[in-house]
Amino acid sequence: MHDDPAPSPSATAARRFPVRTAAGVCAVAVAVLALVAAWGMKARSEPAARAVETADRGLRGAATATATAEVAPESTDGGDIPPDRELTPFDTGYPAIDRLDKNLLKAVQKAARDARGDGIEFRVTSGWRSREHQQRLLDEGIQKYGSAKKARQFVNTPEKSTHVSGKAVDIGPTDADDWLIRNGADYGLCQVYNNEMWHFELLTSPGGHCPTPRTDAAG
């Protein structure tokens, strides 16, 4: 067999189109480099995008927290009892407790400790009140009972109220009231009104005798 002296078609094409072949190779290389560069930019941009998104969420959260903080809870400055919790005689962080007459508070705290030994827990349902608070209660009483005369049987005026002066405390629940009615004189604490078994004041010396309760706040 003799060798074919004619060049192969591929070799001939390579010689015939050398520029086109090189240009094609360059185009492919450029395309590959472009893809690599695009992937790199995407890879670099994804963490940055996540960081921006995280920061944005943080700003939205901070704005929400600020808006929540601006909604102040119900004030207890006037002696109001917070609606979402019960106060004991030891919750002196609240004005209703802290602004009670010091001798009265000391007597109530001592009685509360002793009552706890009998399984009785004291709750302060009302203590010191501001004049505005007392007037609000009186106004509500007048609306409830239909007249100032009837309301005065349960609510005193700011000028006469011993809550405003810090010398009266209302105790609950009923078992605590019953315990204090029976034992309160040992601490100087006395029930003041027949129609309010929860209202106590210092009306005798410890171990003394309590005066007969009055009919009501108007009496």
State both tokens at 123. 């709750």
141 within 8 A of 154, measured Cβ to Cβ: yes
167 within 8 A of 174, measured Cβ to Cβ: no
> What per-residue confidence (pLDDT) applies to 9?
40
State both tokens at 58. 């943080």
Q: Which residues pair with 87 in a beta bridge?
A: 124
Q: Which regions of the chain are under pLDDT 70?
A: 1-74
| Residue 118: DSSP 8-state | T
Tell me the three state secondary structure of residue 77: coil
> What per-residue confidence (pLDDT) applies to 75?
86
How far apart are alpha carbons 219 and 198 in whole angstroms? 17
> What per-residue confidence (pLDDT) applies to 66?
36
> What per-residue confidence (pLDDT) applies to 205?
97
How far apart are alpha carbons 132 and 135 in whole angstroms? 5
Spacing of C-alpha 124 from chain mean position: 20
Q: Which CATH class is domain 95-202?
A: alpha beta
90 within 8 A of 189, measured Cβ to Cβ: no
> What per-residue confidence (pLDDT) applies to 17?
40
> What per-residue confidence (pLDDT) applies to 74?
61
